[in-house]
Amino acid sequence: MNRHHAQFVAGPLQRDHYFTPVTGLSFFNARDGETYLLAGEDTELKVYDGEGRLRCQLGIFHAQPIHGIHVAAAAAGHGERRHVLLWGNQAVTVVSAAVIEELILGSGGEDEAVVAATPVEIIEAKAPDWIYDGVICPEDPDRGVLITAHNEVLEFSVAADGKTISFGRIVSPSRPILYSANLTWLSETSVLVAGGTVFGEIIVWKCHFSSSDGAATASGEDAASMKPWCEALFVFTGHEGSIFGVDISREIDLGGGCTARLLASCSDDRTIRIWDITERPGSPRLQYDAFGEARETGFGGSSSSSAPAAAAAAATDLTTTQVASSAPLTMVMGHISRIWHVRFPLGGVDELARGRPVTVYSFGEDSTLQAWSLDVDLEAWRRRAAKSAATVEGCEAPIIAASITYKETYARHDGKHIWATAVTEEADGRVLIATGGADSKINLFSDRSRAAGGTGTGSGSDISTTASKLQELPSELQTLVMRDVVSKLAPRSPDHAIPLETKEAFQRFAFVYEDTIVATSTTGRLLVGSFGPELTWAQIGTDGETLRALNACTSLKSPAPGLALIGTANKKILLHRDSTIQQVGTVPGKVADIFPLRKSPAEDGGASDKKLEFLVTMLGSGDAMQILTLDLDAAAVTSMVPVPELDSRFVVTAACQINDLLVLGSRHGYVSVFRRVEDEQQLIPFPAPDRRSGDAITSINVLPTSSTSGAAASHIITTSRDGNYRVYETSDSAIQLRHETAPAAVPNLEDAWLSDNGDLILCGFRSKNFIVWNETRHEEILRVDCGGAHRAFAYTRQSHHDKNTDSDSNKDRVHGMRFVFNKAATLGVFTKHSPSVAATHHRTLKRGSHGREVRAIAYSGHSGRRRRYIATGSEDTSIRIWEYTTAAGATSSPDENRGLRCVKVVKVHTAGLQSLKWLGEDLLFSCSGNEEFMVWRACDLGDRGLGLMREAVFADKSEDGDLRITSFDVVALDNEKNGNVAVTMAFSNSFVKTYRYTPGLGFELLFQGQYTGACLTQARHLRVREGVFDVITAATDGCLAVWRSQGSEYVLRHTERIHQSSIKALDVHFTTDDRVVVLTGGDDNALGIVTLVSDSSSSSSSSSDADNMNDGGFENWTRAGVRKAHAAAINGLTVLGERGGRIDFVTVSNDQRVKMWRLGWREGVEEITLLADEYSGVADAGDIEIIGDGKVAVGGVGLEVWDWRS
């Protein structure tokens, strides 16, 4: 093999867009009086306001993600000099707060972030070890300290230019390896340190710095020595795993001159522990001098020869201190995996001094935020704090009773890991919590559990103001007992009085307005509840005939605002309107249920404004169903159209009318459709879609079409108890399924609708909880513990109109949701506002991507469709479809990434995705572990976006079904009808197989072959001609193999070792001169190039399979490569194109570099040139794909788009 050293030429790669884990967060109070959120996303610092707008961004480090952000408070006597401290790994720098404020104010609140025309100068310093935390002195903005991975405090100072950092001495009592640390300034010369070690210990110590009265006074030495020194206070044990998070509380004033301080810790043992770290007079103080000046690394020697001896003495003394350290005040187990962070609510801990509990927050690998209530016995704590350590040792120490109990879980991230957190507190006591995850999403939570009721100020884009506005609409859960409601009603007449021993309860209910509910009781009452400052009730229909009818109520539905239809067992139809009730008709049987066919009588305009249509299902009648038309002016049913008889097992559970079609859903998943013939007042059968599930269809709704879309087709959406929602397209001849998805968040769907901004909202049940889910934004809106789906319930949608919606006082009102349910003889009433955006206590500031590693990327390619789509598959088993645009559209939301917008998420696979491929614009193929291979059909739903339906599932599995399909290739079979596709799959058991896929019929095995036993990693078609397949595969043994089909088998034609170990990336390029260039990337960090020459002239159309075995093959193999193309395994490779006989391609690697190469030939010898070598923020890269317009997408722990045009 010819080896070449790559020649470097300045190249064109530029990063356009990216989703990477959010690894640093901090709140920032600007001089305009508003609060912003600083976010560390890869190497850049981004600033968001409360509306989720990106206000500005700054490049901080060259090739190092930001791991932490500390915003210094304004120091008295230093004017406006204030810094923002940023660090990552060993890199550290400061940025003037004034620079950030100028960029924020310069943005003017526009959607486009401001990037300074002249880049801000950032001077990066390098600490001697990995940095875990850093703080700037509150009294001196030019001094600060860092804590590193070996429990060392490193002092630093900021030069007069406000950019340059100089390091001072290192101070440490001992050097264990830390996994977490926290710092807090106690005075201008002392810092309190808490460090969590790898082996489950927590070391709490104090660091003192030089001053004329500091170190000398405390140590008794001459002040001229001016040496930093430290003292160990506590060593806590008890955790059974590494300490991943520690947080020091503020000092708590217990009264009577006593103060206290707490420490919270979390670990991979999934426990949260609270420790008392109050310093008491007379407690032992183990003092040590500084180790010496800052070293170049955190490992190795020290400039002080006494440092090793000091470290050994420190270890011995810390063991002694450990014995004296107390057990935790309390502990609790939480989350379902490791806990990364735990945080106190800053000043909120003062609530403990008032005898009230305080909320503690934990953040885990399970991507959830959990809230806990910490309560402490205040009197015992005061007594203990008042005693000196000597007194405590001489008698039994007061026992502090403390408890920590679970409050709530917030699951607002996808996948795994909340990496970054920030907590701040407003003047009214409201706590703001920001979280950033591996999914690149940023969430904001507002906790009003101790708020004083005040509201923030600002222009409205301020984070605290936005949270305050949301919280002005309180969420509440009320529980009502029927007897309490009845006690406030006027008594019934003696003729209809209810015996005292009769148990009365709510029976059915329906919302007629957002703030008005109609309910019936088990004794025949009809109650109207009005929501205001309080929920008030009134009873209507108290005459004897109405009471008797209502006593047999079997159905209560609201077909339009202000109206309610009531069906009874005695065959009556009643109408509630304007606080009155009247009978409007009778039916020939007992009313089983009522299904409104139009939500509003004003939808169609004209004569239909005064008419209402609804379907009635009946029992004990010749007609099982009828469509009734109600004239609202006459208050009478004017027509009754019978529905043709269906199978007796067809129990209607949902109904919808779209144009002239009546669509019915049943309890067992069947759909029936009828066409209405208006003149003849009859229904005729219409072709129905196939049954997709055996579970009940719970709702059928029309998807509204934008007036500007011009789409001729109409669509309906159905929900089912199997957890799927389905979108169907209706035409004059058929109803066809276009989209099918089962959101994992809501396994039992009840309804679906579109919010005012076009988001698809789903609701249903998960276990005992009622869930409202924004499918468009892929986030939870509402969760209510109601007991489960078997209870009677009703709810409002955001699109419900308030009865005063046209008044000036209500035109700007943000409508929300109300949910009512029966539970244990009580009525639960839950109110939640602004559901289409988020719950009142939550807001998504930035939407994200997959929460796990992206392993596959596919691009739909051609531009025939209005939109172009990128499919990504991840270890989280989900497939996301992204709409790719080169510039932000006028209608883009401020929190959307300019180039990538997620339009669909499907999660059907049970193992991590291995590969994805589009065939044209309509078919998407996916594979994963467990021998899962699926075919998806995509279609354009007009202004409703993309429809994606799973069309087929591969069923030809092995006996155990535990193999991985590691790679596949697809090609359309042009010489066959029915849209047949050839699919060649590489299996982890060394088999390569080719199947014919026929829509509607499935997979048929054509050929198969077995390699040596090594796992196949890649498979590509070299040529498909006249039924003969030439295929190339790569394997974990570093070899390429070429196969040719013969009969029903693949015959191995040639093998060639290209890499020392596994081939992880492969692409094939066909040149214009019958050459095939195979490019490979290996686990050996090398780049391989193989050129095959096709002898196509020796084959003819009349050649037999046997002849083709000897002719028309790929011979004359030539090889070249780059031995150390990357510093780690090459996981992705794609060809960009060919220009002037030279091939450009790009590679990605675990070394987080994206490299662009050019392959050419000079006198028949390969020549490889490195065109570009750029840092990538995507760790553990898994795939790279060209996505058109001179751009490529890189997937791994994150997602990037790069522009490669020169």
Whether residue 1060 has pLDDT greater than 50: yes
| Domain assignment present for 953 | yes
pLDDT of residue 227: 80
Whether residue 990 has pLDDT greater than 90: yes
pLDDT of residue 813: 40
Q: Distance (Å, rounded) from C-alpha 237 to C-alpha 48?
A: 40
Taking the model in full, what pTM does it have? 0.86
User: Average pLDDT of 700-728?
Assistant: 81
Q: Distance (Å, rounded) from C-alpha 333 to C-alpha 369?
A: 14
Among the ranges given (259-263, 710-714, 768-772), the one the predictor scored with the smallest mean pLDDT: 710-714
What are the phi and psi torsion angles at 488 (to 5°)? -95, 0
Give the residue with greater pLDDT, 1099 vs 170: 170
Shortest CA distance to 183 belongs to which of 224, 137, 219?
A: 137
| Domain assignment present for 951 | yes
Give the residue with greater pLDDT, 1079 vs 458: 1079
Among the ranges given (134-148, 264-278, 570-584, 969-983), the one the predictor scored with the smallest mean pLDDT: 969-983
Whether residue 373 has pLDDT greater than 50: yes
User: Average pLDDT of 724-745?
Assistant: 91
Whether residue 215 has pLDDT greater than 50: no
pLDDT of residue 521: 87
Give the residue with greater pLDDT, 225 vs 602: 225
Tell me the per-residue pLDDT of 42-70, one tens digit each, with 9 for 90 and over: 999 999 998 888 999 999 999 999 999 99
Number of domains in the chain: 2
Tell me the per-residue pLDDT of 793-848, one tens digit each, with 9 for 90 and over: 999 875 444 444 444 444 334 446 889 998 877 889 988 765 444 334 788 899 99
pLDDT of residue 1065: 97
Whether residue 148 has pLDDT greater than 60: yes
The parent domain of residue 933 ranges over 849-961
C-beta of residue 584 within 8 angstroms of C-beta of residue 636 = yes
Tell me the per-residue pLDDT of 323-364, one tens digit each, with 9 for 90 and over: 445 789 999 999 999 999 999 998 778 888 888 899 999 999
pLDDT of residue 15: 92
Give the residue with greater pLDDT, 1 vs 904: 904
Instruction: Copy the structure tokens of residue 3.
Output: 């080896």
| Domain assignment present for 101 | yes
Pairing of the two strands 506-513 and 44-48: unpaired
C-beta of residue 73 within 8 angstroms of C-beta of residue 64 = no
pLDDT of residue 614: 94
Tell me the per-residue pLDDT of 852-893, one tens digit each, with 9 for 90 and over: 999 999 998 755 555 689 999 999 999 999 987 765 443 344
Give the residue with greater pLDDT, 606 vs 1075: 1075
pLDDT of residue 714: 85
User: Average pLDDT of 256-278?
Assistant: 92
C-beta of residue 991 within 8 angstroms of C-beta of residue 940 = no
User: Average pLDDT of 389-397?
Assistant: 50
In 118-270, beta strands by DSSP E: 125-126, 131-136, 143-148, 153-158, 165-171, 178-187, 190-197, 202-208, 229-236, 243-248, 252-255, 258-260, 262-267
Mean pLDDT of the chain: 83
Out of 909, 928, 961, a domain closes at 961
User: Average pLDDT of 982-1010?
Assistant: 96
DSSP code per residue over 812-859? T----EEEEEEETTEEEEEEE--TTT--TTEEEEE----SS-EEEEEE
| Domain assignment present for 85 | yes
In degrees, rounded to 5, the angle at the alpha carbon of residue 1112 between the alpha carbons of residues 1110 and 1115 is 85
Q: Phi/psi class of residue 620: alpha, beta or left (left: φ > 0; alpha: ψ in -120 to 50)?
A: left
Out of 81, 107, 126, a domain closes at 126
Q: Distance (Å, rounded) from C-alpha 70 to C-alpha 28?
A: 9
pLDDT of residue 472: 42
Out of 941, 961, 981, a domain closes at 961
Among the ranges given (306-320, 483-497, 715-729), the one the predictor scored with the smallest mean pLDDT: 306-320
User: Please, which residues have CB within 8 angstroms of residue 189's CB and are 6 or more apart in sequence?
Assistant: 208, 209, 210, 211, 214, 215
Whether residue 24 has pLDDT greater than 80: yes
pLDDT of residue 559: 92
pLDDT of residue 229: 86
Tell me the per-residue pLDDT of 452-468, one tens digit each, with 9 for 90 and over: 443 444 444 566 555 44
Whether residue 151 has pLDDT greater than 70: yes
Tell me the per-residue pLDDT of 58-110, one tens digit each, with 9 for 90 and over: 999 999 999 999 999 876 656 678 999 999 999 999 999 999 999 988 866 55
User: Please, which residues have CB within 8 angstroms of residue 120's CB and are 6 or more apart in sequence?
Assistant: 58, 95, 99
Tell me the per-residue pLDDT of 466-485, one tens digit each, with 9 for 90 and over: 544 444 444 567 888 888 88
Tell me the per-residue pLDDT of 398-451, one tens digit each, with 9 for 90 and over: 567 889 999 988 888 999 999 999 999 887 778 999 999 999 999 999 887 665
Tell me the per-residue pLDDT of 1131-1188, one tens digit each, with 9 for 90 and over: 999 999 888 889 999 999 999 999 999 998 888 788 999 999 999 999 999 999 998 8
| Domain assignment present for 54 | yes
| Domain assignment present for 923 | yes
pLDDT of residue 314: 56
User: Average pLDDT of 542-569?
Assistant: 88
Give me the CATH number covering residue 956: 2.130.10.10
What's 763's DSSP letter?
Answer: E
Tell me the per-residue pLDDT of 909-964, one tens digit each, with 9 for 90 and over: 999 999 999 998 889 999 999 999 999 999 888 777 788 999 999 999 999 889 99
Whether residue 1056 has pLDDT greater than 70: yes
| Domain assignment present for 1155 | no
| Domain assignment present for 1011 | no
pLDDT of residue 450: 63
**Amino acid at site 364:** G
Distances in Å between the alpha carbon of 1180 and those of 32, 151, 367, 646, 854?
41, 29, 20, 57, 9
Give the residue with greater pLDDT, 297 vs 359: 359
Band of the pLDDT at 388, cuts 50, 70, 90? low
